[in-house]
Amino acid sequence: MKQDPITQAVRIQTPRTNEMEHSTPLFLTSSFCFESAEEMRAAFAGENTNNIYSRYSNPTVQEFIDKMCVLEETETGFATASGMSAIFGCFMTFLGSGDHLLSCKSIFGSTHTIITKYLKKWNIDHSYAEIDRPETWEALIRPNTRLIYVETPTNPGLDIVDMEWLGKLAKKHGIILLVDNCFATPILQKPARYGADLVLHSATKWLDGQGRVLGGVVVGKKELIEEIYLFCRNTGPALSPFNAWLLSKSLETLDVRIQRHCDNAEALVKALDNHPKLNWIKYPFHPSHPMYAIAKKQMLRGGGLVTFDLKGGIEAGKKFMDALQMLTLTSNLGDTRSIASHPASTTHSKLSREEQESVGITPGLIRISVGLEHRDDIINDITRALESC
């Protein structure tokens, strides 16, 4: 009987042991045993699917991967210790000396650092494309362009990339398209439907949903994942079985949580619309968003992140953050608890002022990760803090 992916995210689990447990077991082991020397030889030769070592594979980690593949509608995947290790693993698998990477300009600060600082060491060049000027992207593609990398929605600007258009562009030039789907999650959009060859997540965020563990995952076409697997198997960014167990259990409630995050975010946007202390408010499903039509085309809902720009810039931002009584000040997002952050002084502080402005990060930009508290309490805390600006 064919089941919906949401159902499969709840029901998929490792085979039941002789203990007849209902909740999925945790395989907290570094290595696995063999009945004979021949069985062990065959495992190392790749002639059977036996687990060898948890840096290579682990049943608990595989359960998490299997659920993500169902949700993202992809063939297979590999899980890593963090979102950044998933990104770095993809870059290092497919890029070598003399290659070129094309990326959208608006990306997470640590990803920007990898691209601009560390890829240079391996003679890997890059170009940044403007999300709001898609007509300029094709001219940036070179004969040695091997990978296109984008976030959508972007961090923290919540800009949207038209994945259908980009998927066709990548296919036309025979380039691997890698999409960071962290902000939307597979509940709200599925990049593989639009031509993404690989889809990655920082599982630390919405997938965990409670700010407990670090994790990353990349899913996609089998032949590409096999290459990532070989690189990561040898370089070691393996996901802990314990973290995988927590992440797999979290996926059972992902749909329910994301719907509540969206409900609360929509209520917050409505409450802050035309607020006198704000220059603007940005949310993918708000009609004022410059890419509203694209967001509506490829996303089911607008997500749990809201950004706005305070009148008064840096000083207003500091006063607002200090005036919050309930919301947490932390660098994470996608938590059950609502979180406020000031990107210009934290996640994107490594960027110059010019670089910040080029990706839409203004001095007064505030990013709200809308949690699962009662919407009135979220709204009241934010509106009270705005009064202090």
Q: What does the pLDDT look like over 44-98, one tens digit per residue?
A: 998 999 999 999 999 999 999 999 999 999 999 999 999 999 999 999 999 999 9
Q: Are 90 and 224 in contact (CB under 8 A)?
A: no
Query: In 3-state terms, what secondary structure has residue 252?
Result: coil
What's the confidence (pLDDT) of residue 9? Answer: 94
State the pLDDT confidence band at 376, using cuts at 50, 70 and 90: very high
Rounded mean pLDDT of 274-299?
A: 97
Burial of 10 (0-12, 13-18, 19+ CB in 10 A): middle
3-state helix, strand, coil in the chain (%, to 5): 40, 15, 40
Rounded mean pLDDT of 207-230?
A: 98
What's the confidence (pLDDT) of residue 313? Answer: 87
Q: Are 206 and 304 in contact (CB under 8 A)?
A: yes
pLDDT over 90 for what percent of the chain?
88
Q: What does the pLDDT look like over 152-162, one tens digit per residue?
A: 999 888 999 99
Q: Is the pLDDT of residue 177 over 70?
A: yes
Rounded mean pLDDT of 104-127?
A: 94
What's the confidence (pLDDT) of residue 86? Answer: 98
CB neighbourhood size of 270 (10 A):
13
What's the confidence (pLDDT) of residue 348? Answer: 65
Q: Are 343 and 141 in contact (CB under 8 A)?
A: no
Which pair of tokens denotes residue 377?
A: 């309490």
Per CATH, the architecture of 5-251 is what?
3-Layer(aba) Sandwich (3.40)
DSSP letter assigned to residue 93: H
Q: What does the pLDDT look like over 261-274, one tens digit per residue?
A: 999 999 999 999 99
Q: Is the pLDDT of residue 387 over 70?
A: yes
Per-residue exposure over 345-364, b if at least 16 CB sit within 10 Å of its own CB, e if not: eebbeebeeebbeebbbbbb
DSSP letter assigned to residue 275: -
What's the confidence (pLDDT) of residue 146? Answer: 98
Q: How far, in Å, CA of 170 to CA of 150, rounded? A: 12
Q: How far, in Å, CA of 329 to CA of 367, rounded? A: 11
CATH number of the structural domain 254-387: 3.90.1150.10
Rounded mean pLDDT of 340-362?
A: 77
What's the confidence (pLDDT) of residue 356? Answer: 76
Q: Are 76 and 65 in contact (CB under 8 A)?
A: yes
Q: Is the pLDDT of residue 350 over 90?
A: no
Rounded mean pLDDT of 185-201?
A: 98
What's the confidence (pLDDT) of residue 194? Answer: 97
Q: How far, in Å, CA of 52 to CA of 31, rounded? A: 6
Q: How far, in Å, CA of 169 to CA of 129, rounded? A: 13
Report domain extents, the chain.
5-251, 254-387
Amino acid identity of residue 78, one-letter, is F
Return mean pLDDT, the chain.
Answer: 95
Query: In 3-state terms, what secondary structure has residue 224?
Result: helix
